[in-house]
């Protein structure tokens, strides 16, 4: 495992190298707007590109509910016929051309899913490849980004990002946790950042977080092999797998205990908490990402009846930041 200092500096240096910038000045603006400003300052100007998770690949798929899944939630996609999906896999960071293994990605991948519901509406699900999140609020996320921006090559020790990570144990754990490179997006697992409230037809509610697990199992490559791979291997290998048939995942929910916090994304619940299987996600076709990319907006709060956001404050910040980024890249 890399040392605390090397991880902290890789975050700072890779972001700053991408932009040659320090901090964005956006006093008086909403936190979500400041977050997008700061990401744009760190990663540089990339027109028609997301502020974060800029590099992505888009696919079509279907969701088939598991038998009895509607007993957990009355969400329409948990009953009846399969639901069409649009799925976007991505790498963290704001540089759309960065190789999969570039330090600016932090080793974090994303899987965003858009359910196309029978009445013509949509519901979204936004997950990442790590269980938990580095901070619990939008304000702390902005503070982390500003600390990165202030931690250039000539910053005195300890640098602002080192100070931030030292005072925020969850962020320190998040960035120092080993993050091996998957064979493809199809062999990576994904986790919901936030808790949601799931309510069934009998009005019985439970809180839980999503988990998406590849049916074939997770599979990773060594650091040595990862360093030699083509820059877009995660997406290219998934596309190649589709030649043999759909790539499938199980969609599950980890159910919270009565004492588990639902308002803090940094708090990982114990593995002993039960998992409820909701159904199967099948990736069936690669799309022309460049043609559809700018039309796609995934919002964590865009849910359907039977699913509600929890009281986690960062859910709304995420939605507001994604919407702000979408508005800018649509111009």
Please write the tens of the pLDDT for every residue from 98-154: 999 999 999 999 999 999 999 999 999 999 999 999 999 999 999 999 999 999 889
The confidence score (pLDDT) of residue 45 equals 81
The confidence score (pLDDT) of residue 305 equals 98
pLDDT of 24 above 90: no
What's the whole-number mean pLDDT along residues 222-248? 97
53 among known catalytic residues: yes
Q: Is CATH 3.20.20.10 correct for 55-130+179-312? A: no
Catalytic pick among 46, 53, 172, 189: 53
Compute and round to an integer the Cα radius of gyration of the chain: 19
Tokens matching residue 16: 């700053």
Are 197 and 310 contacting, i.e. CB atoms less than 8 angstroms apart? yes
pLDDT of 4 above 70: no
Tens-digit pLDDT profile for residues 51-66: 999 999 999 999 999 9
The confidence score (pLDDT) of residue 26 equals 52
What's the whole-number mean pLDDT along residues 15-39? 70
The confidence score (pLDDT) of residue 231 equals 98
Taking Cα atoms as reference points, which of 87, 70, 71 lies closest to residue 79? Answer: 70
The confidence score (pLDDT) of residue 28 equals 85
pLDDT of 313 above 90: yes
Q: Cβ contacts of residue 89 below 8 Å, gap of 6+?
A: 56, 57, 59, 109, 110, 111, 185, 234, 235, 238
Tens-digit pLDDT profile for residues 245-276: 999 999 999 999 999 999 999 999 999 999 99
Q: How many other C-beta atoms are found inside a 10 Å radius of the C-beta of residue 324?
A: 19
Tokens matching residue 140: 């702390």
What's the whole-number mean pLDDT along residues 295-312? 97
pLDDT of 8 above 80: no
Positive or negative, the CA dihedral 58, 50, 222, 224 is positive
The confidence score (pLDDT) of residue 80 equals 87
Domain assignments of the chain as residue spans, ordered by start: 1-45+136-176, 55-130+179-312
Tokens matching residue 268: 């990982």
Distance CA(255)–CA(263), nearest Å, equals: 14
Q: What pTM, to 2 d.p., does this model score? A: 0.93
| Poorest-pLDDT segment among 4-8, 88-92, 236-240 | 4-8
């Amino acid at each position: 495992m890399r040392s605390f200092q090397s991880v902290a500096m890789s975050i700072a240096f890779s972001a700053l190298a991408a932009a040659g910038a320090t901090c964005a000045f956006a006093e008086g603006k909403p936190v979500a707007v400041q977050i997008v400003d700061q990401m744009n300052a760190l990663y540089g100007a990339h027109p028609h590109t997301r502020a974060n998770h800029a590099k992505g690949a888009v696919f079509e798929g279907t969701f088939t509910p598991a038998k009895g899944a509607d007993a957990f939630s009355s969400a329409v996609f948990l009953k009846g016929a399969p639901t069409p999906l649009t799925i976007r896999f991505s790498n963290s960071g704001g540089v759309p051309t960065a190789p999969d293994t570039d330090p600016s990605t932090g080793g974090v991948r994303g899987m965003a899913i858009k359910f196309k519901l029978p009445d013509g509406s949509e519901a979204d699900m936004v997950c990442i490849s790590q269980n938990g999140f580095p901070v619990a609020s939008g304000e702390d996320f902005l503070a982390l980004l500003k600390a990165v921006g202030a931690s250039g090559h000539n910053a005195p020790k300890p640098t602002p990002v080192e100070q931030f990570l030292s005072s925020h144990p969850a962020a320190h754990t998040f960035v120092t946790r080993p993050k091996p490179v998957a064979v493809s997006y199809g062999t990576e697992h994904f986790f919901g950042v936030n808790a949601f409230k799931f309510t069934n037809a009998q009005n019985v509610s439970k809180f839980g977080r999503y988990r998406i697990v590849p049916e074939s199992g997770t599979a990773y490559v060594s650091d040595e092999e990862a360093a030699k791979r083509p820059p877009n291997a995660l997406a290219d290998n998934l596309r190649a797998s589709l030649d043999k048939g759909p790539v499938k995942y199980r969609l599950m929910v980890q159910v919270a205990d009565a004492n588990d916090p639902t308002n803090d994304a940094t708090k990982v619940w114990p593995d002993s908490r039960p998992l409820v299987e909701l159904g199967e996600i099948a990736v069936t076709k690669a799309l022309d990402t460049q043609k559809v990319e700018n039309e796609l907006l995934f919002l964590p709060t865009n849910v359907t009846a039977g699913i509600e956001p929890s009281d986690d404050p960062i859910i709304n910040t995420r939605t507001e930041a994604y919407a702000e980024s979408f508005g800018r890249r649509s111009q």
